[in-house]
């Protein structure tokens, strides 16, 4: 993680930036939380997340919803978009992708609370949804439902 920067200092903002080769190579930039005196929720939604099945090499698809209550830092959105895009050629199981994203965000941002709902489309006829949470939700924090219906196929 880069040290504290202003928008003017961020290397990716406003510049052409290639998709990182892997999640490990991706740089997540953070900026100072502009509203540290209040608990609030940030929701990041990635409705077209893709990764690669490590067994078959076929693409996997998910709708990912990340909710977090920031403390000192928030993630810079372009670096987050590039980080999530870096999974397109990354081979890993649903569980490893989901928890890896959560652990990386916790490491980089140290949020008060974070949860991820990863709603994976069927692989072999079975949808696998993976959920991760870090910390205790602040009592005063309003957290809406993630709004993703369970997979029902054509039913």
Quote the tokens at residue 107: 């490491």
| Per-residue pLDDT tens digits for 71-94 | 999 999 999 999 999 999 999 999
Distance separating the N- and C-terminal Cα atoms of the chain: 45
pLDDT over 90 percentage in the chain: 81
| Per-residue pLDDT tens digits for 134-146 | 999 999 999 999 9
User: Which residues participate in catalysis according to the annotation?
Assistant: 53, 60
Return the domain boundaries, the chain: 7-134
CATH number of 7-134: 3.30.1130.10
- DSSP assignment, residue 14? T
Q: Which residues pair with residue 113 across a beta bridge?
A: 69
Distance CA 1, CA 74 (A): 12
Residue 11: which residues within 8 A CB-CB, separation 6 or more? 2, 27, 29
> pTM (2 decimals)?
0.88
């Amino acid at each position: 993680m880069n040290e504290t920067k202003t928008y003017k200092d961020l290397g990716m903002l406003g510049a052409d930036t290639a998709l990182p080769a892997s999640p490990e190579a991706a740089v997540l930039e953070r900026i100072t939380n502009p509203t540290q005196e209040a608990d609030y929720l940030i929701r990041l939604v990635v409705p077209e997340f893709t990764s690669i099945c490590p067994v078959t090499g076929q693409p996997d698809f998910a709708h990912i919803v990340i909710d977090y209550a920031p403390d000192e830092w928030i993630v810079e959105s372009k670096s987050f978009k590039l980080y999530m895009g870096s999974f397109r050629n990354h081979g890993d199981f649903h569980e490893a992708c989901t928890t890896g994203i959560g652990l990386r965000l916790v490491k980089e941002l140290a949020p008060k609370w974070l949860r991820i709902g990863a709603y994976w489309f069927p692989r072999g006829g079975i949808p696998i949804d993976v959920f991760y949470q870090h910390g205790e939700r602040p009592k005063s924090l309003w957290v809406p439902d993630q709004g993703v219906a369970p997979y029902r196929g054509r039913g």
